[in-house]
Amino acid sequence: MERPGHSVYSAAVFQQLHTEKPVTHQGLHYGKKTDTPPPESGGKPAQKHAYQLAFNTLKCTTTACVCSSDLLPLAMVMLFDFQDRRFLLCERSTKEGQEAIQEVRDLEKSLQRLSSLARYRVKQSLQSVSRFLSDSVRTKHHRAKNLPLYAWINTLQTSLEEVCEALQSSGLCEVKNTTDLKESTFCRDPLCPDTLIFSHLPKVVINVNICVVLRPLLFDKGDVLVAGSFSAVTTAHIAVAAAARSGRVLLCGADHKPSQVEEIKELLTQMDMKNVRILSEAFCSLKEFDTAVQRLKVIIVLPQCSSSALNDPVTTIHSEHGDWDLLPDLSQGSVSKNKIHSLSFQQARLLGHALSFPKVQTVVYCTRSVYPEENEHLVKRVLEKTHTHPKLLPFRYNKHTPAQSLYKLKASQFTNGCFIARLSRQVRDGGRESVRHGA
């Protein structure tokens, strides 16, 4: 059962995030907007619930109108008058002393909008208000409710076979394909051998796509550095993959909030993982001669992005301590150019710095965005500006096979979308220097 305090918290979140319109275009007056973040209430689960409710409300703000209870009798009379006049506004007298009262004018406009809305619903046989949402927003909204659950198995403590046997003994049935999933069933992920898929349940967010790409890139006793915005569970998943090759995972503590660093430490302690080192520096402050990065072979760049390829951005933003200010744009189906420009600037900064380490053999760049400005256009731009020491193989964009150079996954009923670029130092046949850019 939802607590009353949760609704109050969600209302405060909505008040902070909603987009203010000019007074003449405001159907609802929410009071003065503030930039002060709402005080947290009830811990992380309550926070996620509040932001989820606020996000769903933001999607429908363009269809809302208001009428105070003391104006309800007037509204009923005017509504009948509207119906009698086929919902056309009546012409007002311009004679002095016969002007309409302002409250009547305002209510008339609100009623006309609501009446038009109702007529349109009847005419188009729309069953719910959600049908007024844009196709992209409505599709994502429905997918988010039915996305399957991807559950990662910690293979340092148990095996996939043991988990499958335990699930089957508990009454669950294993099926072969995700299309066969239903209640009380599960299947194995064909791409990630330590992951099981269940029918839609509360999500545990991990970056499965990164873990699929990472495994064949690891070096024996080589370190992996993860930079950007990611969850504690993603950190643990990468750590298990690195442990299989006796490698360590490096994180830059200065790039994260203290609460997130503590969350990562707590999870690693619970899972008894000891191959993760949290550095005190920020990623962009690290230099190639720092002692901590002398065994560094792979850098994974997971920058904060627009989250536009996600069916439900709230879950990911919550788990990764991301930017809640993206929700107003995402609730309407697109992200403003100004925000994309701001995000791409930071993304380019992270990727450019990742390419500056001479001992690094592979850089993996991943976003959950549909915008080329955050994806292939950005990677190409950064590669063109990167200067490499003459004695090193440069990171280059392979212009001959661009279609095979990048990995894009579109959002669907089974998964969220993503973009991955893999940059590796290689020598082309015939001695010509090149780099493979792909996934």
pLDDT tens sequence across 208-224: 556 656 666 677 788 99
Residues 6+ apart with CB under 8 A from 305: 343, 347, 367, 368, 369, 374
Q: What is the pLDDT of residue 224?
A: 95
Range of the domain at 194: 149-198
What is the rounded CA–CA span in Å between residue 281 and residue 254?
A: 5
Task: Identify whether the C-beta of residue 10 lies closer than 8 Å to the C-beta of residue 50.
Answer: yes
Do 188 and 276 lie in one domain? The reply is: no
| 142 lies in some domain | no
Do 225 and 333 lie in one domain? The reply is: yes
Do 235 and 372 lie in one domain? The reply is: yes
| 108 lies in some domain | yes
Q: What is the pLDDT of residue 151?
A: 87
Domain CATH code at residue 338: 3.40.50.150
Do 280 and 401 lie in one domain? The reply is: yes
Do 107 and 154 lie in one domain? The reply is: no
Do 39 and 81 lie in one domain? The reply is: no
| 129 lies in some domain | no
Tell if the pTM clears 0.85, that is, is over it. no
- Where residue 307 falls (left for φ over 0; alpha for ψ -120 to 50; beta otherwise) is left
Do 312 and 383 lie in one domain? The reply is: yes
Residues 6+ apart with CB under 8 A from 237: 152, 206, 207, 211
Q: What is the pLDDT of residues 28-73, one digit of tens each?
A: 445 555 665 666 656 778 888 888 888 887 876 655 545 555 555 5
Do 326 and 269 lie in one domain? The reply is: yes
Do 264 and 350 lie in one domain? The reply is: yes
Transcribe 188-233 into DSSP letters: E-SS-TTEEEESS-S-----HHHHHHHGGG--TT-EEEEEES--HH
- Which parts of the chain sit beneath pLDDT 50? 1-5, 25-29, 65, 98, 202-204, 397-403, 427-439
Domain boundary among 60, 80, 107: 60
Nearest to 360 by CA among 407, 256, 290: 290
395: number of Cβ within 10 Å: 25
| 203 lies in some domain | no
What is the rounded CA–CA span in Å between residue 198 and residue 286?
A: 41
Do 354 and 260 lie in one domain? The reply is: yes
Give the dihedral of Cα atoms 66, 70, 72, 74; nearest 10 deg.
-110
Domain CATH code at residue 168: 3.30.70.1170
Is 255 within any annotated ligand binding site? yes
Do 342 and 278 lie in one domain? The reply is: yes
| 135 lies in some domain | no
Do 248 and 325 lie in one domain? The reply is: yes
The number of distinct structural domains making up the chain is 4
